[in-house]
Amino acid sequence: MGPWNLSLARADQADRLRYSLVLLGLLAWLLYTRIFWMLHSAGATFPTCPFLLLTGQPCPLCGGTRSFAQMWQADLGGSARYHPLGPVLFVLTFAGVVGLAVLVMRGRVVRWRPPRPVEHRLYWAVGGVFLIAWLFRLAFLPLPR
Protein backbone atom coordinates (compact mmCIF):
# COMPACT_ATOMS: atom_id res chain seq x y z
CA MET A 1 0.00 0.00 0.00
CA GLY A 2 1.18 3.49 -0.82
CA PRO A 3 0.33 6.88 0.65
CA TRP A 4 -3.18 6.62 -0.83
CA ASN A 5 -3.61 3.13 0.68
CA LEU A 6 -4.75 1.74 -2.66
CA SER A 7 -4.30 -1.94 -3.43
CA LEU A 8 -5.66 -4.87 -5.42
CA ALA A 9 -6.90 -7.90 -3.50
CA ARG A 10 -8.63 -11.16 -4.24
CA ALA A 11 -12.39 -10.62 -4.47
CA ASP A 12 -14.67 -12.63 -2.23
CA GLN A 13 -18.22 -13.56 -3.22
CA ALA A 14 -19.72 -10.33 -1.84
CA ASP A 15 -17.14 -8.23 -3.73
CA ARG A 16 -17.83 -10.03 -7.00
CA LEU A 17 -21.59 -9.61 -6.54
CA ARG A 18 -21.27 -5.92 -5.67
CA TYR A 19 -18.93 -5.18 -8.61
CA SER A 20 -21.11 -7.21 -10.99
CA LEU A 21 -24.27 -5.33 -9.95
CA VAL A 22 -22.57 -1.95 -10.38
CA LEU A 23 -21.27 -3.07 -13.77
CA LEU A 24 -24.76 -4.21 -14.86
CA GLY A 25 -26.22 -0.91 -13.62
CA LEU A 26 -23.70 1.12 -15.62
CA LEU A 27 -24.32 -0.99 -18.73
CA ALA A 28 -28.09 -0.58 -18.33
CA TRP A 29 -27.62 3.19 -17.96
CA LEU A 30 -25.47 3.33 -21.10
CA LEU A 31 -28.02 1.29 -23.05
CA TYR A 32 -30.86 3.54 -21.86
CA THR A 33 -28.99 6.69 -22.88
CA ARG A 34 -28.03 5.09 -26.21
CA ILE A 35 -31.69 4.58 -27.14
CA PHE A 36 -33.03 7.60 -25.23
CA TRP A 37 -34.10 9.68 -28.25
CA MET A 38 -36.00 6.75 -29.73
CA LEU A 39 -37.74 6.14 -26.40
CA HIS A 40 -38.36 9.87 -25.98
CA SER A 41 -40.15 10.12 -29.33
CA ALA A 42 -42.37 7.21 -28.25
CA GLY A 43 -43.06 8.78 -24.84
CA ALA A 44 -41.43 5.81 -23.10
CA THR A 45 -38.76 7.51 -20.99
CA PHE A 46 -38.47 7.75 -17.22
CA PRO A 47 -40.57 10.51 -15.63
CA THR A 48 -39.26 14.03 -15.10
CA CYS A 49 -37.01 14.70 -12.12
CA PRO A 50 -39.10 15.10 -8.92
CA PHE A 51 -36.92 18.03 -7.77
CA LEU A 52 -37.66 19.84 -11.05
CA LEU A 53 -41.39 19.12 -10.73
CA LEU A 54 -41.50 20.42 -7.14
CA THR A 55 -39.26 23.48 -7.45
CA GLY A 56 -39.29 24.39 -11.12
CA GLN A 57 -35.47 24.31 -11.01
CA PRO A 58 -33.19 21.52 -12.21
CA CYS A 59 -31.41 19.35 -9.66
CA PRO A 60 -27.61 18.92 -9.85
CA LEU A 61 -28.07 15.87 -12.11
CA CYS A 62 -30.85 17.20 -14.39
CA GLY A 63 -29.91 16.99 -18.03
CA GLY A 64 -27.55 14.07 -17.48
CA THR A 65 -29.61 11.61 -19.50
CA ARG A 66 -29.90 13.93 -22.48
CA SER A 67 -26.24 14.87 -22.11
CA PHE A 68 -25.22 11.21 -22.42
CA ALA A 69 -27.66 10.76 -25.33
CA GLN A 70 -25.96 13.66 -27.13
CA MET A 71 -22.54 12.11 -26.50
CA TRP A 72 -23.73 8.94 -28.25
CA GLN A 73 -24.31 11.17 -31.28
CA ALA A 74 -20.80 12.67 -30.89
CA ASP A 75 -22.31 16.09 -30.10
CA LEU A 76 -19.95 17.41 -27.43
CA GLY A 77 -21.43 20.91 -27.44
CA GLY A 78 -24.99 19.62 -27.21
CA SER A 79 -23.98 17.31 -24.41
CA ALA A 80 -22.39 20.15 -22.43
CA ARG A 81 -25.48 22.33 -22.94
CA TYR A 82 -27.65 19.70 -21.26
CA HIS A 83 -25.19 19.18 -18.38
CA PRO A 84 -21.79 20.87 -18.01
CA LEU A 85 -20.19 17.70 -16.60
CA GLY A 86 -21.94 15.33 -19.02
CA PRO A 87 -19.06 14.76 -21.45
CA VAL A 88 -16.59 14.06 -18.64
CA LEU A 89 -19.03 11.77 -16.82
CA PHE A 90 -19.71 9.92 -20.09
CA VAL A 91 -16.01 9.16 -20.54
CA LEU A 92 -15.62 8.24 -16.85
CA THR A 93 -18.59 5.88 -17.13
CA PHE A 94 -16.88 4.00 -19.94
CA ALA A 95 -13.65 3.87 -17.97
CA GLY A 96 -15.62 2.51 -15.01
CA VAL A 97 -17.27 -0.16 -17.16
CA VAL A 98 -13.93 -1.32 -18.55
CA GLY A 99 -12.25 -1.25 -15.14
CA LEU A 100 -15.07 -3.12 -13.42
CA ALA A 101 -15.27 -5.70 -16.20
CA VAL A 102 -11.54 -6.42 -15.89
CA LEU A 103 -11.76 -6.66 -12.10
CA VAL A 104 -14.79 -8.99 -12.24
CA MET A 105 -13.22 -11.23 -14.88
CA ARG A 106 -9.96 -11.48 -12.92
CA GLY A 107 -11.65 -11.93 -9.55
CA ARG A 108 -9.96 -8.85 -8.08
CA VAL A 109 -11.17 -5.93 -6.02
CA VAL A 110 -9.72 -2.46 -5.41
CA ARG A 111 -9.22 -1.65 -1.75
CA TRP A 112 -8.99 2.03 -0.90
CA ARG A 113 -8.34 3.11 2.64
CA PRO A 114 -7.08 6.69 2.51
CA PRO A 115 -6.29 8.71 5.59
CA ARG A 116 -9.53 10.25 6.85
CA PRO A 117 -8.56 13.87 6.01
CA VAL A 118 -7.69 12.88 2.42
CA GLU A 119 -10.98 11.05 2.05
CA HIS A 120 -12.96 14.02 3.38
CA ARG A 121 -11.13 16.48 1.11
CA LEU A 122 -11.81 14.29 -1.91
CA TYR A 123 -15.53 14.06 -1.11
CA TRP A 124 -15.74 17.82 -0.57
CA ALA A 125 -13.89 18.44 -3.84
CA VAL A 126 -16.24 16.21 -5.85
CA GLY A 127 -19.26 17.80 -4.16
CA GLY A 128 -17.83 21.25 -4.92
CA VAL A 129 -17.40 20.42 -8.60
CA PHE A 130 -21.03 19.32 -8.83
CA LEU A 131 -22.17 22.42 -6.91
CA ILE A 132 -20.25 24.74 -9.25
CA ALA A 133 -21.61 22.92 -12.32
CA TRP A 134 -25.13 23.17 -10.90
CA LEU A 135 -24.83 26.90 -10.19
CA PHE A 136 -23.39 27.44 -13.67
CA ARG A 137 -26.32 25.50 -15.08
CA LEU A 138 -28.87 27.53 -13.10
CA ALA A 139 -27.30 30.82 -14.20
CA PHE A 140 -26.48 30.18 -17.84
CA LEU A 141 -28.14 27.08 -19.30
CA PRO A 142 -31.83 26.63 -20.17
CA LEU A 143 -33.94 23.90 -18.60
CA PRO A 144 -33.97 20.61 -20.52
CA ARG A 145 -37.16 19.91 -22.43
Instruction: Delimit the domains of the chain by residue range.
Output: 9-45+57-140
Distance CA(121)–CA(4), nearest Å, equals 13
- Read off the pTM: 0.88
Could you report the per-residue pLDDT of 89-131, keeping only the tens digit for each? Answer: 999 999 999 999 999 999 999 998 888 898 899 999 999 999 9
The crossing angle, in degrees rounded to 10, of helices 86-106 and 13-34 is 140
Does the pLDDT at position 42 exceed 80? yes
Could you report the per-residue pLDDT of 69-91, keeping only the tens digit for each? Answer: 999 999 999 999 999 999 999 99
Distance CA(15)–CA(45), nearest Å, equals 32
Backbone conformation region of residue 74, classed left if phi is above 0, alpha if psi is from -120 to 50, else beta: left
The DSSP code for 136 is: H
pLDDT of amino acid 144: 59
Does the pLDDT at position 143 exceed 80? no
